[in-house]
Amino acid sequence: MRTDDFDYDLPQGLIAQEPTDQRDSCRLFVLHRDTGKHDYKVFTDIIDYLNPGDLLVANKTRVMPARLVGHKQKTGGVSETLLLKRREDKDPMGHVWECLVNPGKRLKPGTVIEYRAGETQAPMSAPVVLTAEIIDYVEDSRGGRLVRFDPAGGLTLDEAMHKAGHVPLPPYITQYDGDPEKYQTVYAMHEEHSAAAPTAGLHFTPELIKRIEDKGVQWKTVELEVGIDTFRLVEEDDPTKHMMHTERYHVNQDVVDAVHATKEAGHRVIAVGTTSVRSLESAFDPEVPVSDPPVVARYFEDAKDSAKVTGKGDIVVRKNATTSLYLMPGSTYHVVDGLITNFHVPRSTLMMLVSAFASRDQIMDAYQDAIQRKFRMLSFGDAMFIE
């Protein structure tokens, strides 16, 4: 297995630069794993592929205004900072963050950056609301920095970041200047913890969620704080040498109970997005003793390509946990039976994740079909359902 195995030619003209006018009016590509068949629908048709008793699990994280554009204090040169996660181990007050900085090579420890309120290219006369000092390199982060922030004018750090910050769109979205709320899910929690959106969830509306629930499908949420690996391709020729950084996640008791009940009744757990996959599969503990007969393991006894039942292994509650789970062909899915997702960047860990859920050949064939049919790709693009 090589990283090139997950590469494909992505026409620039198919990279969606803005969301559809109505969230649930995008197109839907359906991949049936058992037959390899493809269906071509509209996203509202997802309800036709869901059965009473199924369980949808979505990531409720909310995106921070994590993109800060400032000026270096000594030279006035423009610098961009992308907040990834708080490092309470470095500062219990939460003022130290792991960040990506640009220009990375020239921003060394000791550099001080000033951020001003207002537009991205705020005039230098605008008041400084936030300063930052680069204090260290992030170990093994390929350009990451530890940055200590200092709010000005009596502001709290969150207040200063909201005055100076912007929702960070992916770098391949270069033409969007619309409502930043379109890069948030309608069910996102109030607190802001992520550096990127769980984009598969962008297609859902409150009305569609209600129709799904009215059909007898459960809707539950987990939280995974999307971090640094969202912005990375796999650069190593051997993908097994790629290092996944940790992300914080939470799987509550109500989700565990819902998974147990769903599996016990013989229905499916369907993840809304790859971050929900990583939350659910990270919460699976292969060593935990389970009931006799085991709920989750018993369900997988007859599942296609499942691991042999050992009498151990179950999904468990995870609170304030961290995961560096890296799913690729050869990995076993223990919890997730279906996946709603978007089309992903070539050579990314997400291409490997979906290739582990279906197969590499099925995914590459589906992507070529979608490109030929002019599906819109990546974060603001169309959706895929793998069942």
**Angle, vertex CA 126, rays to CA 122 and CA 128, nearest 5:** 100
Report the alpha-carbon distance of residue 26 to residue 203 in Å, rounded: 7
Mean pLDDT, residues 151-175 taken together: 91
177 φψ region: left (φ > 0), alpha (ψ -120 to 50), beta (else): alpha
Strands 269-272 and 55-59: parallel
pLDDT tens per residue across span 301-335: 444 344 444 457 899 999 999 999 999 999 999 99
pLDDT at 300 over 60: no
- Fold (CATH) for 67-166: Thrombin, subunit H (2.40.10)
Q: Quote the pLDDT of residue 38.
A: 98
Cα dihedral 182, 352, 333, 31, rounded to 10, equals 70
Most distant pair of Cα atoms in the chain: their distance: 69
Q: Name every residue whose Cβ is closer than 8 Å to that of residue 261 and which is 6 or more positions away in sequence.
A: none
Q: Are 283 and 316 in contact (CB under 8 A)?
A: yes
pLDDT tens per residue across span 336-361: 999 999 999 999 999 999 999 999 99
Give DSSP secondary structure letters for 74-88: TT--EEEEEEEEE-T
Name the pTM for this structure. Answer: 0.89
- 138: pLDDT confidence band, cut at 50, 70 and 90? confident
CA distances to 39, 119, 249, 286, 359 from 321, in Å: 38, 36, 5, 16, 29
Q: Are 112 and 74 in contact (CB under 8 A)?
A: yes
| Least confidently predicted of 52-56, 183-187, 238-242, 360-364 | 238-242
Q: Quote the pLDDT of residue 308.
A: 41
Report the alpha-carbon distance of residue 239 to residue 16 in Å, rounded: 27
Mean pLDDT, residues 202-216 taken together: 98
Report the alpha-carbon distance of residue 274 to residue 328 in Å, rounded: 12
Domain ranges of the chain: 3-63+180-386, 67-166
CA neighbor of 318 nearest in space, from 256, 268, 227: 256
Phi first, then psi, for residue 85 (nearest 5°) are -160, 150
Report the alpha-carbon distance of residue 93 to residue 9 in Å, rounded: 45
- 233: pLDDT confidence band, cut at 50, 70 and 90? confident
Instruction: Name the β-bridge partners of 67.
Output: 82, 166
What average pLDDT is seen over the chain? Answer: 90
3-63+180-386 is a CATH 3.40.1780.10 domain: yes
| Least confidently predicted of 113-122, 189-198, 215-224, 310-319 | 113-122
pLDDT at 124 over 80: no
